[in-house]
A and B are shown apart, each in its own frame.
Chain A
Amino acid sequence: MKIVRKALDISFKLVEKNKFLSKFKPVLTALDGALFGTDELNTVPHITDYLDIKRYMSFVIIALLPAVAAAVYFWGLRVILVILVSYIAGGVVEVAFAVARKKEIHEGFLVTGLIFPLLLPPSIPLWVVALGVMFGVFFGKEVFGGTGKNIFNPAIVGRIFLTICFPLIMTVGWPKPYIGGLGGFSKFGVDAITAATPLNAFRSENVLASFSDLLFGFSGGCIGEVFRLGIILGGIFLIITRIVNWRIPFSYLASVAIFSLIGNNLAPLKFAPPSFQLLTGGLLFGAMFMATDPVTSPFTKEGKWVGGILLGLLTVLIRALSGYVEGVMFSILLMNAFAPLIDHVVLAVKYKEPKKVTGKLKPTT
């Protein structure tokens, strides 16, 4: 620990002296902050909570770990490489902007860099990963002014960009996951055998995959979305720790269930039944980890309900009626775009007359 401290102090001195190196001070400050915390004191209030953004973001990463581990098992060790490429390529953009703006590096990228590769097909070429994450971070976040100011979830921006520019890579050739024994832990690349994803299978032949296959991830899909049990656990973990607000995942999933039930009764060949819809595609992953991104979803409580229901409706409709089999990404992107409007309307209604006095009563017995 002392050695690290010394090394940092020396590098700070170096950076201070050298003109060119001094541009990279944000990198050093970020490292310093991550390792040693802060020595700043409060003014008023005199005390603050121990939770900081670093820990906040770390918890999202912890919640993603089951999905990541399962991804390596299903798709081979190459997944690790994909994640690394995403972190490095996205990190370069992040650092470049921090250096140019002379601002600190923000922790939000740690989550984006991990979520993004999990949204991609397992056989994705590495250069596509790099391109997608750079596009996402650049156009999804930095052009808006960085973390906290972005309107769209950067991971989704990158993903949609790839879907539109490289439709073939993104939609064709879903390998079968490795199952049994060491699985992908002993292999590098993905399996050569391909098979239709459950959603595709429903679209073309109207077959429903078995629930256990879906729950445990024994079917094709994107890297991180198939091990749904782990995603559900991760999501519940986030909700219990209060990192994620329960309103959006709950209203999203509930409205998918309700809308698909209605659709399934009207047109059973187009709309899959609710239980199948809930457990296929990227719905759970999207609902737990992406629609809940606090920056890009509506911030008012009522807005969260509205946003969740909107998401559910859009997802069911896109899945059933559009040219795409999966609608989660587009729905979330649209919800992101509408979030400011939703909040605006909610605020306008809630704070209509200036003097509606607050502090409502709630007798509990």
Chain B
Amino acid sequence: MKKKQYTFKGGYRFRRIEGCPRDMLTTQDIPNEVLIPLKQGFGMGVVSLVKEGDIVVAGQIIGRDDSNVSSPVHASVSGVVKEIKLSNYLGHETQIVRISTRKDKADDCKKVKGFTSDWAKLKNEEIESILYLAGVTSLDKSGIPTKFKSSIITPKDVRSIIVPAIGFDVYNLSQELLLGEKRVLDYIEGLRILHAFMPQANIYLALSKTDMQINEKLSEAVSQYGFINIISLEPKYPQGYDEMLVATVLGEKFPFGYYAANLGVIVLNAQTILSVYEAVVKGKPLIERTIAICGPGFNDTPHLKVRIGTPIADILKSYLRTDVSSRIVLENTLVGDKLTDLSLPVTKATSKIIALPENNKREFFSFLRLGVKRDAYSNTFASSVFPFCDKTLDTNIHGELRPCISCNYCEEVCPVQIIPHLLGKYVKNNIIDDSLVRFKIFNCIGCGLCSYVCPSKIPLLELIKEGEKKLAMEGIERSSSILPHFKLKGLKEYKGITTKL
């Protein structure tokens, strides 16, 4: 099959940043205690099926709610329910079930009903039920639709499935590791299972144009399946956002602020596809994940196989550097959630834990340094001449706040072609009116690149978000500028869903 290559204007490719996860997989010990939020991944919180003192087995469903958009939540270890408490997880209120582990039963795991290696014989309904019961359906930005209300749309609504097998971020899970050895075959099986119950959907396999090895393996393996289209993309940030994937892969306009699922498109990562395979063929419920430890704030940066619910502090204990204090960020190095409470657990949606050294030291003649290890959008540091050195990252602002000089860097990197400095000036001068909408403030996908590149260190992303909030207060809503122009699905279900966690 012919490979097509697409890209979008703007964006920025982070090259050779220090602290990339190594191609090594370690299994994290099962913790003494796990914390299982009842709202994980895509969907709403579920109702607890257990109470304090109950004995649970790993893989047992402990929370489920068939009346709302949600997927079941499982106990990830065998043990005793100690406590169920309403707590705050990164700004969301959710019930968290605390289970203390029984070490003697560590290897037990309850399988999902109905799995079989001969899955081709299963009815669609049975596949959907296995996926739902395994909890796989809540993975990724908008979940996998089944007839069990696991997503805002139904399997029939899905037109396209985009499966990126590359990373587009500063730090990425190693696809070589995820899809290495025999996993390519499992991966293809996973895709075939999805195709089986969503036969009308085109599957687009997005590959990187630089990552040759895995590309060849995958394209060779899928070449016999006509329903899989191979597309090659540039590995630049923020290509991994659903917004950019839909725009580049399908060439469609995106209803900014809504889900890809509203368009009938779902985006599923490699790990999700593998979980689909494991659930249907092996009967494995979603109780563990591979996460990447990344950033210059760690001693070592392996990939870890962890049980869901493992407190992040347990993981940090063995890897975090002690000589610097670091900021812990989840998922996205630029705009991910900053973790202040380290006792919070890994959830289904966690894939990266990033540690960035908090650098509040002043540096003598900082602006005159050669900068072999400094990353910059402009070619003003030696790092552009010596690209073979790993570059470092920290949370220092690297300069003083200055007025905008209209250098246009922010416009050049903006992936959705809006002019951040213009919007920033409007918001700063408190001009909140229709012109902001005209300049497409609602198209901002919040990638943070504009603030990243600004030499005047203007917090453009914050200004834009502030502008959106102020517009809402004046009664100018996003929906009024988006809805009339799209035929969106699942709008009723869309209300009240948050993807965080």
Q: State whether A53 and B334 are in contact (beta carbons under 8 Å apart), knowing that A359-B244, A363-B4 are contacts in the complex.
A: no
Inside 8 A of A347's CB, which chain B residues have their CB?
422, 439
Query: A108 an interface residue at 8 Å Cβ cutoff?
Result: yes
Interface size of B by CB at 8 A reads 87
Query: What CA separation (Å) do A37 and B368 show in the bound complex?
Result: 10
Residues of B within 8 A of A42 (CB): 395-397
Q: Does B248 contact A (CB under 8 A)?
A: yes
Asked if residues A37 and B248 are in contact (CB atoms below 8 Å), the reply is no
Give residues 34-56 of A contacting B (CB, 8 Å): 34-56
Contacts A295-B405, A347-B439: A355 and B367 contacting too (C-beta < 8 A)? no
Q: In chain B, residues 374-414, which have Cβ atoms closer than 8 Å to a Cβ of chain A? A: 374-381, 393-400, 402-409, 411
Query: Taking each of B365, B418, B434, which has the highest tally of chain A beta carbons within 10 Å of its own beta carbon?
Result: B365
CB of B470 closer than 8 Å to a CB of A = no
Give the contacts of B1-22 with A (CB-CB under 8 A).
4-9
Tell me if B341 is interfacial: C-beta within 8 Å of chain A: no
The reply to whether A351 and B438 contact each other, CB–CB distance below 8 Å, is: yes
Contact indicator per residue, chain A 169-197, by CB within 8 Å of chain B (1) or not (0): 00000000000000000000000000000
B448 touches A44 (CB 8 A): yes
Kindly identify, within residues 334 to 365 of chain A, every residue whose CB is under 8 Å from any CB belonging to chain B: 347, 351, 354-355, 357-365
Is residue B457 within 8 Å, beta carbon to beta carbon, of the partner chain? yes
Give the interface segment out of A85-93, A213-221, A240-248, A325-333: A240-248
Minimum CB–CB distance from B401 to chain A (whole Å) comes to 8
A243 — which chain B residues lie within 8 A by C-beta?
A: 378, 380
Instruction: Indicate which residue in A38, A52, A354 contacts B438 across the interface (CB closer than 8 Å).
Output: A354
A41/B364 in contact, CB under 8 A: no
Please encode chain B, from 430 to 458, with 1 for each CB lying within 8 Å of some chain A CB and 0 for all others. 00001001111001000010011111110
Q: Specify which chain A residues have a CB less than 8 angstroms from the CB of B364 in the assembled complex.
A: 1, 35-37
Q: Does B222 contact A (CB under 8 A)?
A: no
Chain B residue, CB-CB nearest to A36: B362
Chain B residues whose C-beta falls within 8 Å of the C-beta of A47 in the assembled complex: 170, 333-334, 356, 393-395, 452
CB distance from A34 to the nearest CB of B (A): 7
In the complex, how many angstroms separate the beta carbon of B225 from the nearest chain A beta carbon? 23
Contacts of A365 in B (CB 8 A): 4-5
A147 within 8 A of B: yes
A46 touches which of B333, B376, B377, B405 (Cβ 8 Å) = B333
Indicate if B417 sits at the interface (CB-CB under 8 A): yes
Residue of A nearest to B2 (CB): A365
Q: Are A46 and B360 touching (Cβ within 8 A)? A: no
Taking a contact as CB atoms under 8 Å apart, the answer to whether A294 and B416 are in contact is no
Q: Which residues of B contact A355 (CB under 8 A)?
A: 481-482, 484-485
CB within 8 A of A361: which of B6, B327, B380, B451? Answer: B6
A200: CB under 8 A from chain B? no
Check A358–B443 contact: CB distance below 8 A: yes
Cα separation A48 to B409 with both chains bound (whole Å): 13
Contact A361 B251 (CB under 8 A): yes
A358 touches B362 (CB 8 A): no
Structural contact, A46 and B334, CB atoms closer than 8 A: yes
- Chain B residues with CB under 8 A of A52: 367, 398-400, 402, 455-457
For residue B414, give the distance in angstroms from its CB to the closest CB of chain A. 9
CB within 8 Å of A: which of B443-501?
443, 448, 451-457, 459, 461-462, 481-482, 484-485
22 intermolecular pairs with C-beta atoms under 8 Å apart: A36-B366, A37-B364, A38-B362, A41-B359, A42-B396, A45-B335, A46-B338, A48-B398, A48-B452, A50-B399, A53-B402, A54-B367, A55-B380, A59-B380, A243-B378, A243-B380, A351-B438, A355-B484, A359-B416, A361-B248, A362-B9, A364-B5
Given contacts A46-B329, A49-B378, A363-B5, 9 further A-B contacts (CB under 8 A): A45-B334, A50-B381, A55-B455, A148-B406, A295-B405, A299-B422, A358-B418, A359-B253, A361-B251
Chain B interface (Cβ < 8 Å from any Cβ of A): 4-9, 170, 243-244, 247-248, 251, 253-254, 327, 329, 333-336, 338, 356, 358-368, 371, 374-381, 393-400, 402-409, 411, 415-419, 421-422, 434, 437-440, 443, 448, 451-457, 459, 461-462, 481-482, 484-485
